[in-house]
Amino acid sequence: MTGPTPVPTAPQRSRANARYTPVDADGPLPHHMVAAVPRIRADPLAFLASVHERWGDLVAFPMPRLPVVLVTSPTAARRILVDNHRGWSKRTAQYGALSAVTGSGLLTSEGEVWRERRRAAQPAFHPGGLSAVAEQSVAAAQRMRAAWPQGGGVVDVDAGGLQATLEVVGRTLFGADVAEDGERLVAAVLEALEVVVGRVRTPLPLWLPTPARRRLRRAVAALDASAGAVVARRRAQGADGDDGDLLALLLRAVDSGDLAPEGLRDELVTMVIAGHETVASALTWTLHLLSREQEAQGRVAEELDAVLGGGDARGGRPPTWDDLRSLPRTRAAVEESLRLFPPAWVLSRRAVAEDVLDGVAVPAGTTAIVSPWLLHRRPELFPDPEAYRPERFEEGGLGREARAAYVPFGAGPRLCIGRDFALVEATLVLAELLRGASVHPAPGERVRVEALVTMRPRDGLRLEVRPR
């Protein structure tokens, strides 16, 4: 007689946390969590690492009714993001908070709405369109370097990077013609985001809601007004016919009825949020790591000298789109930095129905926290995991298993739409900055990581820059 296939579960054993979670995996008890609150607030990454170290690859937090698990095994992460992606939605507290700002933009929407929006936006990220990104990235890097002291000195590369990446996103996605309204839009986005971050300081299972509703409503109203101004100006200029930027594409989608007008606002806001701080963070951490690892920086400098002839003072030239394929070391410096400091340090999903992760059944409604930060530090996949070694990504690159576990841009259908955009941008900004300068730790600078929406240095990052 055949019956339904039994759901495989881990061998039943008595778990100390059995009363506090239906998931058959070890994990902290309520008193551990209470004791950990200050640590979660101060250093969520260290908390994650300690939880993983103590309880293993699948950790069940003590949440009996709405289970939460930390996922650190590559197989379970793949199951959630790729193989059974339909079984895991983005209806999580993390994305719920974000959607207060982004509405149903690409990052936070689901199902048919998401599919339509992805289809509408995809052409703007086509490799052909990325040459504009290349051009704007180099121009932004030149402005950033122009602000550096001529003879060398200490600069906040984080502040410079934030400004540069903002310019690139604004100009390539919305066009330079709306730059001024675009800047107001960005300011409004950042204000609203700050309120949201205040509400969900950490995506770890200790939500700390502070009802800043009124401030959020105000910020969202300002956001709506500036998004409206960006659209109105472009409409007034009648430039939506043949411009290839995202704004033009989305306006055409609205005109043809493929996108509801409110969808336009949501996507503009989403792109600012998803495409600004993430790339700035990647750049900042790459510069930080290169400043500490002079040998790795030397290899990048060698490549830049060979391809571009070095800085202007040595008769060199700025990089272009066509140089990208000749800059594998520069790109690898970024990719290895995204391994150690993935800006999106956790990805959250919610089980639509019961699922099985590495042999352990998790009920419908379970929130899974997939941590690229921990996945990228698995020693069997990334030997000497804490070491910054861009060579891992050069030539043959990562092996098959390590590649599957390397997820700074996510994986599966919800893979970052801006991945190539980001890699082109970060590689060329880095190339333009480092062809004429070297970076070194600033005397007395203490770098502290702050993991909020993205992983960033708290209070900026000062480095010493020297012309070379």
Site for ligand HEM, rule CB under 6 A? 106-107, 118, 169, 270-271, 274-275, 278-279, 282, 343-344, 347, 408-410, 414, 416-418, 421-422
Terminal-residue alpha carbon distance, the chain: 78
In the complex with ligand HEM, the residue whose CB is nearer, 283 or 442, is: 283
In the complex with ligand HEM, the residue whose CB is nearer, 21 or 454, is: 454
Output DSSP code: residue 79: I
SS3 of 391, please? helix
| Least distance to ligand HEM, CB of residue 20, Å | 27
With beta carbons less than 8 A apart as the criterion, state whether 102 and 93 touch: no
With beta carbons less than 8 A apart as the criterion, state whether 148 and 467 touch: no
| Least distance to ligand HEM, CB of residue 418, Å | 2
Phi-psi region of 103 (alpha: psi -120 to 50; beta: other; left: phi over 0): left
| Least distance to ligand HEM, CB of residue 14, Å | 35
| Least distance to ligand HEM, CB of residue 356, Å | 21
In the complex with ligand HEM, the residue whose CB is nearer, 75 or 89, is: 89
| Least distance to ligand HEM, CB of residue 282, Å | 4
SS3 of 357, please? strand
In the complex with ligand HEM, the residue whose CB is nearer, 33 or 139, is: 139
DSSP letters, 272-296, are: HHHHSHHHHHHHHHHHHHHHH-HHH
In the complex with ligand HEM, the residue whose CB is nearer, 117 or 389, is: 117
Q: Using CB atoms, what's the residue nearest to ligand HEM? A: 418
In the complex with ligand HEM, the residue whose CB is nearer, 301 or 334, is: 334
| Least distance to ligand HEM, CB of residue 343, Å | 4
CA 67 to the chain's CA centroid: 25
DSSP letters, 176-234, are: GGGHHHHHHHHHHHHHHHHHHHHH-S-SSS-------HHHHHHHHHHHHHHHHHHHHHH
In the complex with ligand HEM, the residue whose CB is nearer, 56 or 123, is: 123
The burial class, CB within 10 Å (0-12 / 13-18 / 19+), for 91 is middle
Structure tokens at 128: 């052909």
| Least distance to ligand HEM, CB of residue 426, Å | 6
In the complex with ligand HEM, the residue whose CB is nearer, 145 or 414, is: 414
The Cα–Cα gap between 125 and 133 comes to: 10
| Least distance to ligand HEM, CB of residue 88, Å | 10
- CB within 8 A of 263, min separation 6: which ones? 103, 104, 105, 117, 250, 254
